[in-house]
Amino acid sequence: MIALVQRVASARVEVDERVTGEIGPGLLLFVCAEPCDAAAQAERLIQKVLKLRVFADDAGRMNKSLEDVRGGLLIVSQFTLAAELAGGNRPSFSAAAPPAQARALYDELVALARGRHAPVASGEFGAAMRVHMVGDGPVTIPLCVR
């Protein structure tokens, strides 16, 4: 799975002017499934994200995790993370998992997160979404879990 994690002061997702997910301070997680991915990759990704030490401790060092600070997690499906530009300027997304597989893995990822952490919010798979976020830092970290 390919992911992009952003530390945020707040974030929300809207579909057709309806808020589908919203958090205060925490992490915004964009995620893309690849054809070789299965539930094991979703499991490893959630474990990594919940323990990722990107929040300040009392000394101001990035030493605390999302679990430590009890921050929010907003998960958004983002197939464009699999973009390939080797053939020119128009991206190809053939490296992304097919929609049925991607939806199942996205649903699995959200369920795993909700089973281990609160609050967890999400976007809407396959929808045209508007993602609003106020970055904190900025702290943006790419992750790839195989």
Please say if 140 is a catalytic residue.
no
Closest to 72 in 3D by CA, of 23, 29, 31, 122: 23
First to last CA, the chain: 6
**The two structure tokens encoding residue 121:** 């919010």
Q: Which of 47, 80, 93, 140 is catalytic?
A: 80
Contact 6, 69 (CB under 8 A): no
Please say if 30 is a catalytic residue.
no
Q: Which of 6, 55, 78, 101 is catalytic?
A: 78
- Distance, CA of 108 to CA of 93 (rounded, Å): 22
Q: Which of 79, 93, 101, 125 is catalytic?
A: 79
**Active site residues per annotation:** 78-80
